[in-house]
């Protein structure tokens, strides 16, 4: 089904979710494969990236990117192959990455695409370690977290696409790394494979604040937060002086249908003279080449590794995305849309 080239399978936003999305919030349609207009290329998508930020775009609220309209194709990053082109710099067969959405084909102007070198690494990494999540880890950690040798760096969602890399990059800088995850299997993975010094399973630990204190006895110098909520509260209880908190995601709050409440704990930021800063990778667009160059080098040398969680078939994207928001992924979650 998904590899046929005469039908465009598209996943649309059918309605705005209340709380956690359900499959009924999406609608899958088949449409004709579009014809590329002059100056555009036709891309067959091979992989779709599923990312927590997509939940925000399903709401009708102002954000850094506009909401997906009802009955529009869900937005998202893809890697694909150019299959029809009259653009000389992107001939048929070129592998490209872009925001082509939850669909099997799309036409697009070349300026919205980045050419992916299949010789460098598996092309799916253009959506992970050598793509937006990798760059998020890179710029968020280095530019805002400013890790120093000997610092303790705590990462929430530490086995995810971003967190798995943050820990490795911090370790490479000589930091003590502590990862917070939601499963024992993930805890083992981040310590044994990613080199984290300690792991905390937030689902089974009854006193998160004490767990962070034990894992970070000198206090937390850098907190890379993908999660928010009680995990973040526990870290705030254990900040070192002048801690840097990189606010990269707040996935624990994205499905809330009403305002979540929590302790008012900014006094802890005041007392420790810490800094909280919001981070969105799109602000670093001009420096992507620098980040990709370094990440590619470290990937090639084996200094960093990654894990993918690939689900087959675009029709399974809604369920896979719902699972991602519940932490059911293990590594970077991708949809394989078509064979390479």
| 67: contact with its own copies by CB under 8 A | no
Minimum separation from the CB atom of position 262 to its own copies (A): 4
| 274: contact with its own copies by CB under 8 A | yes
Cβ contacts of 141 within 8 Å, gap of 6 or more: 147, 153, 166, 169, 170, 222, 224, 246
Minimum separation from the CB atom of position 268 to its own copies (A): 8
Cα-based torsion angle of the residue sequence 129, 132, 137, 138 in order, rounded to the nearest 10 degrees: 90
| 19: contact with its own copies by CB under 8 A | no
Residue 47 or 236: the one with the smaller Cβ distance to its own copies is 236
Minimum separation from the CB atom of position 280 to its own copies (A): 6
Size of site (CB under 8 A) for its own copies: 32
Binding mask 242-261 for its own copies (x = CB under 8 A): -----xxxx--x-----xxx
- Both tokens assigned to 140: 């968020």
Minimum separation from the CB atom of position 325 to its own copies (A): 15
DSSP letter at 66 equals P
- Both tokens assigned to 34: 């579009």
**Contact between 113 and 59 (Cβ < 8 Å):** no
| 163: contact with its own copies by CB under 8 A | no
| 262: contact with its own copies by CB under 8 A | yes
Pick the closest to residue 57 from 25, 9, 104 (CA basis). 25
Of 3, 273, 310, 312, the residue at the interface with its own copies (CB under 8 A) is: 273
Residue 98 or 291: the one with the smaller Cβ distance to its own copies is 291
Binding mask 217-236 for its own copies (x = CB under 8 A): --------x--xx--x----
Output the CA–CA distances (angstroms, integers) from residue 29 to 13, 41, 54, 273, 285, in the order listed: 11, 22, 20, 53, 33
Burial group, residue 94, by CB count within 10 angstroms (0-12, 13-18, 19+):
buried
| 267: contact with its own copies by CB under 8 A | yes
Pick the closest to residue 29 from 277, 339, 318 (CA basis). 318
List contacts with its own copies (CB under 8 A).
Answer: 63-64, 225, 228-229, 232, 247-250, 253, 259-264, 266-267, 269-280, 283
């Amino acid at each position: 089904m998904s590899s046929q080239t005469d039908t465009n399978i598209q996943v649309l936003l059918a309605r705005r979710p209340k709380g956690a999305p359900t499959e009924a919030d999406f609608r899958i349609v088949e449409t004709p494969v579009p014809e590329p207009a002059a100056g555009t290329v036709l891309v067959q998508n091979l992989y779709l990236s599923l990312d927590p930020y997509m939940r925000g775009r399903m709401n009708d609220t102002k954000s850094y990117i506009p909401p997906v309209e009802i009955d529009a194709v869900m937005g998202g990053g893809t890697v694909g192959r150019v299959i029809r082109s009259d653009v000389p710099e992107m001939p048929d067969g070129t592998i490209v990455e872009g925001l082509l959405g939850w669909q099997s084909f799309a036409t697009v102007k070349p300026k919205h695409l980045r050419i992916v070198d299949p010789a460098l690494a598996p092309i799916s990494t253009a959506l992970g370690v050598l793509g937006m999540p990798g760059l998020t880890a890179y710029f968020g950690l280095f530019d805002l977290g400013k890790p120093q040798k000997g610092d303790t760096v705590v990462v929430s969602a530490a086995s995810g696409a971003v967190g798995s890399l943050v820990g490795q990059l911090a370790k490479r800088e000589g930091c003590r790394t502590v990862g917070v995850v939601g499963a024992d299997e993930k805890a083992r993975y981040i310590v044994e494979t990613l080199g984290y010094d300690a792991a905390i399973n937030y689902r089974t630990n009854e006193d998160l604040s004490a767990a962070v204190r034990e894992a970070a006895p000198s206090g937390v110098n850098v907190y890379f937060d993908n999660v928010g909520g009680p995990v973040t509260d526990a870290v705030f209880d254990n900040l070192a002086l002048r801690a840097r908190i990189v606010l990269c995601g707040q996935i624990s709050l994205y499905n809330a249908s009403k305002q979540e409440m929590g302790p008012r704990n900014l006094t802890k930021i005041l007392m420790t003279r810490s800094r909280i800063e919001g981070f969105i990778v799109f602000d670093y667009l001009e420096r992507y080449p620098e980040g990709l160059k370094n990440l590619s080098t470290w990937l090639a040398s084996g200094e960093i590794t990654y894990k993918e969680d690939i689900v087959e078939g675009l029709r399974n994207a809604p369920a896979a995305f719902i699972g991602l928001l519940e932490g059911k992924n293990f590594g970077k979650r991708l949809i394989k849309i078509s064979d390479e």
